[in-house]
């Protein structure tokens, strides 16, 4: 009898383990990559608020935000974007399934972002005009990748 219950408990553990893996594959990888994006959004938000005049220009804060964006582009995210982790397998992600089956040119989109972030890094601390000029291409580089890689967002 005791053996039976132990067996049952083990079977239950194995089952729930499998079930949660099935319901939410790569949940941690998805959380991590979305976290990197939220980090980008926070930092571009600092720059955007200055560009729009909502917040007074501050060279140090602007430089910090631009530096953070450049750093975010240097992370190796290959272990976060793994086949089986798209929106089709896990609705918590907004990554299109084609990202893992077709060449959508995402590497080039990432390179565009890096270029725009570096231009912002060179300009952000040097005055509001330079920051404003670097803002357009930077924002476009975010959207350019989202357009190809993400399920359209409302």
In the complex, the residues that contact ligand HEC under the rule CB under 6 A are 30, 33-34, 37-38, 40-41, 44, 69, 93-95, 106, 109-110, 113, 141-142, 145-146, 149-150
Minimum distance from residue 55 beta carbon to ligand HEC (Å): 17
Give min distance, CB of 73 to ligand HEC, in A.
Answer: 8
CA distance 89 to 85: 6
State in angstroms the smallest separation of the CB of 108 from ligand HEC: 9
Nearer to ligand HEC, 30 or 131 (CB): 30
Please identify, using beta-carbon distances, which residue of 124 and 142 lies nearer to ligand HEC.
142
Determine the Cα–Cα distance for residues 50 and 130; give it in Å rounded to an integer.
Answer: 12
> At closest approach, how far in Å is the CB of 42 from ligand HEC?
8
Report the half-sphere exposure of 74 (CA within 13 A, side-chain side): 7
The answer to whether the beta carbons of residues 112 and 58 sit under 8 Å apart is no
The residue among 90, 95, 113, 106 whose CA lies nearest residue 40 is 113
Q: Whose Cβ is closer to ligand HEC: residue 109's or residue 125's? A: 109
Nearer to ligand HEC, 125 or 144 (CB): 144
């Amino acid at each position: 009898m005791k053996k039976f219950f132990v067996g049952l408990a083990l079977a239950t553990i194995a089952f729930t383990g499998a079930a949660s893996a099935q319901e939410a594959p790569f949940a941690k990888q998805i959380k991590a990559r979305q976290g990197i994006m939220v980090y980008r959004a926070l930092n571009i938000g600092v720059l955007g608020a200055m560009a729009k005049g909502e917040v007074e220009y501050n060279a140090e804060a602007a430089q910090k935000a631009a530096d953070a964006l450049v750093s975010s582009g240097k992370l190796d995210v290959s272990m976060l974007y793994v086949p089986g982790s798209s929106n089709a397998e896990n609705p918590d992600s907004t990554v299109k399934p084609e990202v893992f089956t077709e060449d959508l040119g995402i590497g080039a989109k990432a390179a565009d972002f890096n270029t725009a972030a570096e231009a912002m890094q060179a300009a952000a601390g040097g005055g509001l005009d330079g920051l404003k000029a670097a803002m357009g291409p930077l924002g476009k580089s975010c959207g350019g990748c989202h357009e190809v890689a993400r399920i359209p967002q409302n």
